[in-house]
Amino acid sequence: MPAERDLFERLHLPASPVAPDPLFASRLRAQVAEALTFAATDAVDGPRPSDPPTHVPEIALGRRTTMSTSTPTPSPADSRAVDPVQTPAVRFENPSLVVRGGAAAVAFYQAVFGATISMEPFIEPDGRIGHVELDIGGAMVALADEYPEYQIFGPKTLGGTPVALGIRVPSPEAVDALVALAVANGAEVVIEVKDQFYGERAGRIRDPWGHEWMVHGLNEQLTVAEMQDRFEAEGGGLPPTDTE
Partner 1 sequence: MPVVDPAAEEAQSRAFLELYDTALPQVFGYLRARSGSEPLAEDLTTETFLAAVRSYQQRPGQELSTGWVIAVARNKLVDHWRKVATEERHLQLVADRTADQQSEEDEWIDGFGGTEAHAVLAGLAAQHRLALTLRYVDDLSVPEVARLLERTVQATETLLVRARRAFRQAYVATDQEGGDHAR
Q: Give the residues lining the site for partner 1 (CB under 8 A).
A: 1, 7-13, 15-21, 24-25, 28-29, 31-33, 35-50, 53-55, 78, 80-81, 83, 89
**Could you tell me where the beta strands, DSSP code E, fall in the chain?**
96-99, 116-123, 129-136, 139-145, 164-169, 188-195, 200-206, 212-218
Question: How far is it, in rounded angstroms, from Cα 218 to Cα 206?
Answer: 21
Nearer to partner 1 (CB atom), residue 9 or residue 192? 9
Which amino acid, 235?
A: G
Minimum distance between the CB of residue 72 and partner 1, rounded to whole angstroms? 15
DSSP annotation of 147: B
Side-chain half-sphere of 22: how many Cα atoms within 13 Å?
A: 0
Minimum distance between the CB of residue 223 and partner 1, rounded to whole angstroms? 16
Nearer to partner 1 (CB atom), residue 54 or residue 151? 54
DSSP annotation of 94: -
Nearer to partner 1 (CB atom), residue 1 or residue 163? 1
Minimum distance between the CB of residue 80 and partner 1, rounded to whole angstroms? 6
Minimum distance between the CB of residue 76 and partner 1, rounded to whole angstroms? 12
Minimum distance between the CB of residue 19 and partner 1, rounded to whole angstroms? 5
Q: Name the phi and psi angles at 71, rounded to 5.
A: -115, 145
Nearer to partner 1 (CB atom), residue 9 or residue 173? 9
C-alpha closest to that of 244 among 190, 166, 179: 190
Nearer to partner 1 (CB atom), residue 27 or residue 114? 27
